[in-house]
Structure 1
Amino acid sequence: MEEAIDLRQLMGRLKKRFWLIALLTIIAATISGVVSFFVLTPMYEANTQILVNQAKSKEQFYSSYELQTNVQLIQTYNDIIKSPAILGEVTKELNLDMTPKQLSNQIQVTNSQDSQVAHIVVQDTNARLAVKIANTTAAVFKNEVPKIMSIDNVSILAKAELDESLSPIKPQPLLNIAIAIVVGLMAGIALSFLLDYLDNSIKDEQDIDQIMELPVIGVISLIDEEELKGSSVSSHSLTPARGGSHSV
């Protein structure tokens, strides 16, 4: 029969090593805060939108076939936007000190399902540069795609704008610190249980009862050596007196 877990006993063990749990939690939160505020470089994000539609014609409506064709073209355009043919021109125009492949790592092109709108998302440590890269990429793509695919059906729907109150998307110091507190707390609790499991020493009568399963019939209290010396000095000694009696 398995021994039942006593919650009060578990809480007592955690309380006994509360200092260890608190120390690990504080250390984890401090390290996370220092890294988030002083080590990691803030990253900003800019977003521009392009619209894929059919070339202008005399028809006043789109057929379902034309709409489906535009949606399928979006997937092709996503690959073209991040190609050296487009990003090479972007790096030249902005005089960027990076290769088209390096710039591609900073750009993400996405679109919602069955949507003709593509989002060009650019991340950079400089907010102003992120906006320039996003808008320039959209403009270069719009100009170059007729040469690449012999089709002119791309429009810039919304340009990226620089907001003075723009805050970095990462790192998020408060979130990182909160996660570090939880991790430190869990690590402290786990380490406390591990130390308690490895500790086989007997410290009090409760340990004798729990570990050895023997009844405790008596306890010898520890006597402080200083108190013992003091009591011996203040005690009276018995000396023999005349007439066979003892004086106190």
Structure 2
Amino acid sequence: MEIQDILHIIKKRIVLISSITVMSVIISALISFYLITPEYKSTCSIVVTKHMEKDGEKLQYNDIMMYQKLVKTYAEIAKSRKVAENTIISMGLNIKPEELQRMLTTNIAPDTEVMYISIQHKDKKFATNVVNKLSEEFIKRANELLPGGNIQIIDYAKVPKSPVKPKKVLNMAIAFVLGLMTSLGLTFLLEYLDTTIKTADEIDSYLDIPVIGLIAKVGE
């Protein structure tokens, strides 16, 4: 099959291709805008360094490298059940520690002692209040377990303006691609199943016999 044949098949079923593709995008848009509940992520940034015993004492290179490695341990402490429990008790929340842990994510800035604690929830004010309190409870717990560190909040979380889910544009773009691929697949499947002969070239191609004449279609 040559490129001209492929283009001819697509042109012949362009209405089908367009309809399926457009409907896929419309359905994705309706689901993204009206059916999926938006979720917001609120993030608090924290730095972990060595506790300075003397005024004016400077951090050594080895200290920096050590705490860059230790920050992974601190991230695990932040995700612990104990920190979740303390946060729930402190705020009087009516949720289980496991539920709070599922909302929580931590990230570490590469080659730094900076970590980020995030809470994702459908209520953006709830997410902000919880992540700020959880960060404070994390610092208390971390100081109990690793008293040599100096943990400070760089920036408290602010109420996010826009949701992180659903990703509406991305969902619609994926729907467009899937709709287009599905419609093209269906188009070529229908063409493959269609065994009727419609042109003189098809007679010559399929039956290998010469065409000696054509009968024109005459309207009634």
TM-score by length of 1: 0.82
- Out of 167, 185, 194, which is 2:189 matched to? 194
Q: Is the 8 A contact 1:43 1:126 kept in 2?
A: yes
User: Which amino acid is the alignment partner of residue 166 of structure 2?
Assistant: P
Q: Note the C-alpha offset of 1:152.
A: 4.8
Secondary structure, aligned partner of 1:153: strand
Structure 2 letter corresponding to 1:182: V
Instruction: Give the count of matched residue pairs.
Output: 219
Percent identity, aligned pairs only?
Answer: 30
Distance in 1 (alpha carbons) for counterparts of 2:217 and 2:154: 84
CA spacing shift, 1:152–1:10, aligned 2, 3 Å = closer
Once residues 113 and 31 of structure 2 are traced to their aligned partners in structure 1, the CA distance between those partners, rounded to angstroms, is 41
Q: Is 1:43 aligned to 2:15, yes or no?
A: no
Give the alignment of 1:110-189 within 5 angstroms.
Answer: 110-163=107-160, 166-189=161-184
User: Hey, what's the Cα distance between the residues in 2 that align with 1:7 and 1:193?
Assistant: 13
Map Cα deviations across residues 153-187 of structure 1 (whole Å, 9 max, x no partner): 21111100125xx1111112222112211211111
Amino acid at match of 1:130: A
Is 1:209 matched with 2:184? Answer: no
Shift of the 85–151 alpha-carbon distance from structure 1 to 2, 3 Å rule, reads farther
Aligned partner of residue 138 in structure 1, secondary structure: helix
Cα deviation 1:90-148 (Å, max 9, x = unaligned): 12222333221221111111112321111112211111111111111111111222223
Q: 5+ residue gaps in structure 2?
A: none
Q: State the SS of the aligned residue for 1:53.
A: strand
Q: What amino acid is the match of 2:152?
A: S
Which residues of structure 1 form unaligned runs of 5+? Answer: 228-248
Are residue 16 (structure 1) and residue 12 (structure 2) matched?
yes
The alignment's C-alpha RMSD in Å is: 1.7
Does residue 25 (structure 1) correspond to residue 10 (structure 2)? The answer is: no
The residue number in structure 1 matching 2:77 is 80
- 1:62 and 1:221 mapped to 2: Cα distance? 93
Contact 1:128 1:162 in 2 (8 A): yes
Q: What corresponds to 1:109 in structure 2?
A: 106
Higher relative contact order (CA 8 A, sep 6+): 2
Number of the residue aligned with 2:52: 56
SS for the counterpart of 2:116 is strand
Secondary structure of the corresponding residue to residue 73 of structure 1: helix
TM-score if structure 2 supplies the norm length?
Answer: 0.92
**TM superposition shift of 1:21:** 0.5
- Rounded Cα–Cα distance in structure 1 between residues aligned with 2:140 and 2:187: 64
CA contact (8 A) 1:145 1:151 kept: no
